[in-house]
Amino acid sequence: MDLKIIAPKALQGTVTLPASKSISNRVLVIRELMRADFGIDNLAECDDTEVLRRAFLSIKSAKNATIDINGSGTAMRFLTAMFAVTDGEFVLRGNNRMHERPIAPLVTALKTLGADIDYLAAEGFPPLKVCGHGLKGGRIDMPGHVSSQFASALLMVAPLLDNGLELHFTTPATSLSYIQMTIEMMRCFGADVAWTANDTIRVMPTPYIYNARSYSVEADWTSASYWFAMQLLCHDADNRLSFSNLPSSSLQGDAIVPELFRRLRSSEPFEWNFASTPDLVQTIAVCCYALGKPFRFTGIDTLRIKETDRIAALEEELGMRIVPDADGTFITPPPVDASRNVFRTHGDHRMAMSLVPLAFCLPHIVIRDAEVVSKSYPSFWKDLSAIGFAVTQER
């Protein structure tokens, strides 16, 4: 589905943001590990979360199951660890891109703990066969720079290990805010988990406990970033866009969004280390391009192994080079090219949504394969229309 987008003259209205899929996915995994049945209010309605829901339904009736997680990296990582401690035999597979995304650090760590996991194709990559059983636990040394989801997957199953877990990062952990989110949510469910050093997390073999009848999921700050970008690039200074459900106190590292947009409005070049907030890179890159603002991004290495190579995709769609640089050299984006108004999403939901604010800089834009937003924000195009955007299907 290709969509033609024309921006309104002004932004006015109220947006109800989707639930955080990061929080939704973690609470689903923890609830399943607890074998509990408490309710979850405001659970995300998106592809990633639906993959986990379907997976858990499928294993309720059979101890042997093949799970197709399609393009959900979160599901692949979380389910690999969860199935390793769940009695049964499970096959985890996904789409072609998923089979190109590395999972060796997580599999190696689980095997060190005694897990029975086999690669069914290329060594170090999905698909996987997991034969689950109880694990003793102990100490794991694991690189922290590849994916925070490897750490989160191990941490969430750690209370079920006979001896708990001591997780030691051999390199600095990336996306640290997501690891901290996992820790805080585990504590909410009674886990005994703490940092014992700057590079080490200890989880005691204390069972999860939750006495409340339901758990409420926050609205998603990453989704809010696209609307903040629209407000920034809208030419009407009197725009009145509001959000009905954004939490002021949040588990999400991306709650830094207001601060980043304050910096974008300054006259200074933009400089930021995105190691803890990688999902905001595309939004900020588009804003810098639209504003002609010099910038320096660091901490973006993990973007190479996301749904697409997000750095390469940004370079291709915006016509500029984005090079993480340690010596302080700033990148000056080229002027907005009026002839560059048709954008590919590269199979990535965040590419699709981060490019939409450019509609305020051009007479119209076209987003190819716009349906990819279902991965995290299925109502995005409907919400755009409700605020006043003209959103029509290209044929």
Among candidate residues 257, 255, 251, 230, the one with its CA nearest the CA of residue 357: 230
39 contacts: CB under 8 Å, gap ≥ 6: 213, 214, 215
Buried b / exposed e along 198-219 (16+ C-beta atoms within 10 A):
eeebbbebeebebeeeebebbb
d(CA 275, CA 283): 15
Residue 226's contacts (CB-CB under 8 Å, 6 or more residues apart) are: 283, 353, 354, 356, 357, 380
DSSP state of 342: E
| Number of alpha carbons in the 13 Å side-chain half-sphere of residue 285 | 32
The residues, any chain, with a CB within 8 Å of residue 93's CB and separated by 6 or more, are: 66, 67, 68, 69, 99, 120, 126, 127, 128
Q: Say which amino acid occupies 338.
A: A
Considering the candidates 47, 48, 254, 279, report the single residue annotated as catalytic. 279
- The answer to whether the beta carbons of residues 353 and 373 sit under 8 Å apart is yes
Q: Please state, in angstroms and as integers, the Cα–Cα distance from residue 13 to each residue in 8, 129, 159, 234, following that order.
A: 12, 49, 45, 14
Name the E strands within the chain: 2-6, 12-15, 39-41, 64-68, 88-93, 116-119, 128-132, 138-142, 165-169, 193-197, 200-203, 214-216, 240-243, 270-273, 295-298, 342-343, 365-367, 390-394
Active site residue 301: no
Look at strands 240-243 and 12-15 and give their pairing: parallel
Provide the terminal-to-terminal Cα distance of the chain, rounded to the nearest Å: 9
CA of residue 299 relative to chain centroid, distance: 15
Catalytic sites, residue numbers: 279
